[in-house]
Structure 1
Amino acid sequence: MRLIQYRDRNQLRVAVVETPEAVRPITVEGGTYALARIAIDSGQSLESVIEVRLEDTLLDYQPLVDERRLLPPLTHPDPAHCLVTGTGLTHLGSADTRSAMHAQSQQQTQQSEEQLTDSMRMFKLGVEGGKPAPGETGAQPEWFYKGGGDCMVAPEAEIPVPAFAEDAGEEPELAGLYLIGNDGRPWRIGYAIGNEFSDHVTERFNYLWLAHSKLRACSVGPELWVGELPDHLEGTSRIVRGGETVWEKPFLTGEANMAHSLANLEYHHFKYSGFRRPGDVHVHFFGTATLSFADGIKTRDGDRFEISLPIFGRALRNPLRFKTETPPIDVKSL
């Protein structure tokens, strides 16, 4: 089952994707968030909650896209209660990408421990211990914070690039979408395509600036996959400029292509009590090994990112908009 959220006049609506051309609205106030709350509170599956609320009529999908009425597939009524985070160096091949980006040797995983960079050491930890047996604790991944819920832009909407940014690069990833129950238990609602979007020039200058490079907008959706994922997923990431594709590359994701299991990544995020606050929404990116920046691409104003994974339905598309001014930062004493 796949879900979308969209605007209907001033209302937040949610619908099931029936076909590539049609969606079936669900009768509920509050969108996907409300459906998940009902499921958790009543002890039912999300699918069961949805099935009894399906409306009889079908709605054309394409106008929602053309009119930019799509929203991220899960939102919180208060964006401050949505945390957007992620993990890096999680995919087989991601270390090569990171090394190339930092102009380091491609053979570092074969070097002695003393010769490894921190990034390569982190990747090696994941390869050796990122998929623990059930009941065991695996290696910690790299982790970063992106922002609150207001850093997520809707599918088809412009991704803003701040005037102080050095780069504006896509990162095609899986994202997990979660709601914390009243008892503090994290519930995974589903998965979506994500464009984690980062400033790779800033990161390349010094890896200790990784935290700065991640404080950017991002996008998730348009469709939310409810249920278990296949282990192997193949997608395509491209950049379209003036109607022409200027860069395109396949990417792999899913646990078969990762150094870490999804369960291990989830454990090391939600083990912190501050991330188990009842009622909060979490959007967590699982990493990638494919970047246009690693191929020397420099994005421009108006470029459109397109990220697709066939089982997720429609592609996630967002144009870039470069800002030219930074609001004045005037800190005053009280």
Structure 2
Amino acid sequence: MTLRLLQHRDADGRRAVIAANGDRAHILPGVESVRALAERAIAAGTGLAEAAAACGEGAAVDIVAELAAGRLIAPIDHADPAHLTLAGTGLTHLGSAEGRDKMHRDAAAAAQQTDSMRMFLEGVEGGKPAAGETGQQPEWFYKGDGAHLVGPGEALTMPAFAQDGGEEPELAGIYLIGPDGTPFRLGIALANEFSDHVTERHNYLWLAHSKLRQAALGPELLVGEPPAHVEGSSRIRRGDAVLWEKPFLSGEANMSHSLANLEAHHFKYGQFRRPGDIHVHFFGTATLSFSDGIRTEQGDVFEIEAAPFTLPLRNPLARAAGETVAVKTL
């Protein structure tokens, strides 16, 4: 069975890490964060699962009940949000070009092939290089720092000026940079990357703007080698009804890029290898409600679930209040 790690915070703010295997889950004594456990593993030269096992077993936990009570937080964080980077890659999944190409085709009607389709096809051709070789670099985007990270059950809040708040169901890799600058993948988490697709559709050069949004992580960190095939469901609930629902696929077997290639092109930049930093990297998706003509509204609830994760990721959609920003000369 695959180990899953969860972060717990009680009503008094006390934190703990939960280890789950199958239907069993227990507190890990003596550790308050997944980041601290990972640092312990790096220092000892062991894997994350071995470090968790060395903690022993504390009290048993019902993780379904704890999720319902709102006591499970994002499975990774940093005491200083500025040292957590949210970034991602797009056009990485087989079929992922269809929605994006449709979005941009009108704006590039004179061309036979949009930039999106060209980048996708280049990834299909060179996104899975042999070991030791450099593959085609993917589309890359920055989302924000740890202040933009949302946990299970929390609202995904779009800015007051946003034109859309749309879900992106996918997997995210979780990384800790070791003392010597080595990136360590701690595992993967279920994620809602969350973007403004109306802004992106207007002009592809506004992709960077559309991605500067919050993002949500499911409660479980799946430790070890990621599964090659992940199959799940993404839905939007409006009130008591399901407004939209569709299956989604992820994992390398369903991708045009290997995880190693995506990781190589992210961590090739020295500024992303600062010791002690956390990176949450979104691997992309091929499934969007926006591509099916859905316009979300405040109060809609995004729901994403996929095995081998046992808990869903649910987040309501909210809009921030407007604010006036004035730049002053000193």
TM score, norm. by length of structure 2: 0.95
Task: Name the counterpart of 2:277.
Answer: 280
1:94 maps to amino acid? S
Equivalent residue pairs, number: 325
Task: Name the counterpart of 2:100.
Answer: 98
Are the counterparts in 2 of residues 160 and 322 from structure 1 also a CA contact under 8 Å? Answer: yes
Between the aligned partners of 2:30 and 2:268, the Cα distance in structure 1 is 32
| Secondary structure of 1:73 counterpart | coil
Are the counterparts in 1 of residues 164 and 198 from structure 2 also a CA contact under 8 Å? Answer: yes
Between the aligned partners of 1:127 and 1:62, the Cα distance in structure 2 is 39
**Displacement, 1:19?**
4.5
Task: Name the counterpart of 2:219.
Answer: 222
Map 1:259-270 to 2 at 5 A. Answer: 259-270=256-267
Between the aligned partners of 1:306 and 1:37, the Cα distance in structure 2 is 32
Are the counterparts in 2 of residues 18 and 24 from structure 1 also a CA contact under 8 Å? Answer: no
Deviations 1:147-206 (A, max 9, x none): 001101110111112110000100001100000000000000000011000000000000
1:89 maps to amino acid? L
**For 2:317, which of 316, 320, 326 is the aligned residue?**
320
**For 2:81, which of 79, 82, 86 is the aligned residue?**
79
Between the aligned partners of 1:206 and 1:31, the Cα distance in structure 2 is 41
Deviations 1:265-285 (A, max 9, x none): 000000000000000000000
Q: After alignment, is 70-79 or 208-217 more displaced?
A: 70-79
Deviations 1:234-289 (A, max 9, x none): 11000011121110000111111111000000000000000000000000000001
1:55 maps to amino acid? E
Percent identical:
57
Task: Name the counterpart of 1:111.
Answer: none
Between the aligned partners of 2:30 and 2:265, the Cα distance in structure 1 is 33
Between the aligned partners of 1:240 and 1:115, the Cα distance in structure 2 is 38
Deviations 1:56-110 (A, max 9, x none): 42022233222212111011111110000000000110111111223459xx9xx
Matched, 1:195 2:192: yes
Task: Name the counterpart of 1:178.
Answer: 175
Task: Name the counterpart of 1:10.
Answer: 13
Between the aligned partners of 1:224 and 1:157, the Cα distance in structure 2 is 18
Q: Which runs of 4+ in 1 moved over 4 A?
A: none
2:324 maps to amino acid? P
Matched, 1:149 2:146: yes
**Displacement, 1:29?**
3.7
| Secondary structure of 2:176 counterpart | strand
Between the aligned partners of 2:39 and 2:58, the Cα distance in structure 1 is 23
Between the aligned partners of 1:89 and 1:200, the Cα distance in structure 2 is 14
Task: Name the counterpart of 2:242.
Answer: 245
TM score, norm. by length of structure 1: 0.94
Task: Name the counterpart of 2:65.
Answer: 63
Deviations 1:102-159 (A, max 9, x none): 3459xx9xxxxx7322111111110110000111000000000000011011101111
**Displacement, 1:228?**
1.1
2:17 maps to amino acid? V
Are the counterparts in 2 of residues 85 and 144 from structure 1 also a CA contact under 8 Å? Answer: yes
1:34 maps to amino acid? A
Q: 1:28 to 1:101 in 2, by over 3 A?
A: farther
Map 1:107-146 to 2 at 5 A. Answer: 115-146=112-143
1:54 maps to amino acid? G
Are the counterparts in 2 of residues 24 and 54 from structure 1 also a CA contact under 8 Å? Answer: no
Between the aligned partners of 1:62 and 1:265, the Cα distance in structure 2 is 33
Between the aligned partners of 1:99 and 1:118, the Cα distance in structure 2 is 8
**For 1:54, which of 46, 53, 56 is the aligned residue?**
56
Are the counterparts in 1 of residues 29 and 58 from structure 2 also a CA contact under 8 Å? Answer: no
**Displacement, 1:41?**
1.0
Between the aligned partners of 1:182 and 1:298, the Cα distance in structure 2 is 45
Unaligned 5+ runs, structure 2: none
Between the aligned partners of 2:249 and 2:64, the Cα distance in structure 1 is 28
Between the aligned partners of 2:318 and 2:217, the Cα distance in structure 1 is 17
Between the aligned partners of 2:22 and 2:71, the Cα distance in structure 1 is 18
Between the aligned partners of 1:78 and 1:30, the Cα distance in structure 2 is 15
Q: After alignment, is 129-138 or 59-68 more displaced?
A: 59-68
Between the aligned partners of 2:104 and 2:190, the Cα distance in structure 1 is 26
